């Protein structure tokens, strides 16, 4: 059976309190960038804030008196240190309060601002109560209370400084910038890795091309040497063929010369025999060449064989 909402619950939901948990109302969720309506302060806001400001003047005076008793008189810039203490205690309390109420955007920031508002309020209260106790109780509790309160205030100041840094660190803008820096760093890392891989592949390709170039150069050099050797072999063969031709021509001329000499000798021998038979030994054959003609023709043939030209009178 569905639950029926009461009038009180309906009124609370109408006023925007969607949860009965007090912590959810004091520490709302993230606003997701939704702007709050521009609502003017009422008289109650002005009166309450004015009372708070006046009481803060009293706590500031108490804090200044307490700090003046805990800081040595001979310290340089003593007044400046006291002023910084007031800023870190009383003014910081108001700053954390307004940050929690109006300026914090995320839930983490709201929680941190509320916690630091409570802490600074506690520190201011300790400083004011301790300063009053020192004057009220006199010297009996003066030293012990002063030491205890001094360490509480110093510890609170350190926490306030850490909280200020943490608040800035968890702001949406800082987180977005950090995310962008991380993404940019990753991109740069991947780009550097890609460039390194590309450079490695380029060097490997360059080494491979250099190896191929050396191989092709060696092959071309080997083919050039083989070609030169072939040309030398062809020249040697041509020279041997030419010499063989010359030897063949010389042999032919020699055979021709020996044949002609043989003919001459035959004619000479045949003519002498005929003259002896006819009783006339001094008469030679009319067609037989003389010995001087044979020697001249043989010399001309040897000369033509030496120069490699054919003798037109052969």
From 149, 150, 156, select the one nearest 120 (Cα to Cα): 156
Give CA–CA dist 42/139, Å, rounded.
48
* Residue 142 forms part of a structural domain: yes
Q: Are 103 and 36 contacting, i.e. CB atoms less than 8 angstroms apart? A: no
Indicate whether 139 and 229 sit together in one domain. no
Which of 123, 146, 170 is the endpoint of a domain? 170
Tell me the pTM: 0.46
Indicate whether 165 and 246 sit together in one domain. no
* Residue 210 forms part of a structural domain: yes
Q: Are 307 and 294 contacting, i.e. CB atoms less than 8 angstroms apart? A: no
Q: What is the pLDDT of residues 260-308, one digit of tens each?
A: 888 878 777 765 555 555 544 444 444 555 556 666 766 776 676 666 5
* Residue 271 forms part of a structural domain: yes
Give CA–CA dist 43/284, Å, rounded.
176
Domain interval for residue 203: 185-307
Which of 170, 193, 216 is the endpoint of a domain? 170
Indicate whether 280 and 226 sit together in one domain. yes
For the segment 56-85, the average pLDDT, to the nearest whole number, is 80
* Residue 72 forms part of a structural domain: yes
Q: Are 267 and 287 contacting, i.e. CB atoms less than 8 angstroms apart? A: yes
* Residue 9 forms part of a structural domain: no
Q: What is the pLDDT of residues 242-259, one digit of tens each?
A: 888 888 888 888 888 888
Which of 138, 170, 202 is the endpoint of a domain? 170
Indicate whether 166 and 192 sit together in one domain. no
Tally of structural domains, the chain: 2
């Amino acid at each position: 059976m569905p639950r029926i909402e009461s009038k009180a619950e309906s009124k609370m939901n109408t006023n925007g309190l969607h949860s009965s948990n007090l912590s959810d109302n004091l520490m709302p969720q993230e606003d997701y960038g939704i702007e709050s309506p521009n609502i003017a302060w009422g008289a109650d806001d002005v009166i309450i804030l004015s009372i708070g400001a006046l009481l803060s003047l009293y706590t500031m005076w108490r804090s200044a008196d307490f700090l003046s008793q805990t800081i040595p008189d001979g310290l340089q810039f003593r007044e400046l240190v006291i002023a910084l203490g007031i800023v870190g205690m009383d003014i910081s309390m108001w700053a954390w309060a307004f940050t929690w109420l109006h300026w914090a955007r995320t839930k983490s920031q709201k929680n941190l601002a509320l916690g630091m508002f409570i802490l600074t309020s506690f520190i201011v209260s300790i400083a004011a109560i301790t300063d009053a106790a020192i004057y009220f109780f006199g010297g009996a509790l003066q030293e012990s209370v002063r030491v205890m309160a001094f360490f509480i205030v110093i510890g609170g100041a350190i926490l306030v400084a850490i909280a200020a840094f943490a608040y800035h660190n968890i702001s949406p803008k800082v987180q977005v910038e950090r995310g962008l820096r991380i993404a940019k760093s990753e991109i740069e890392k991947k780009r550097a890795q890609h460039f390194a891989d590309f450079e490695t592949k380029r060097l490997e390709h360059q080494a491979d091309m250099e190896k191929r170039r050396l191989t092709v150069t060696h092959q071309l050099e080997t083919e050039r040497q083989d070609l030169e050797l072939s040309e030398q072999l062809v020249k040697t063969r041509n020279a041997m063929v030419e010499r063989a031709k010359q030897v063949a021509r010389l042999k032919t001329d020699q055979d021709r010369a020996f044949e002609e000499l043989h003919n001459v000798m035959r004619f000479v021998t045949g003519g002498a025999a005929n003259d002896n038979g006819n009783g006339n030994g001094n008469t030679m054959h009319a067609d037989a060449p003389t010995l001087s003609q044979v020697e001249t023709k043989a010399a001309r043939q040897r000369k033509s064989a030496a120069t490699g030209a054919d003798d037109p009178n052969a």
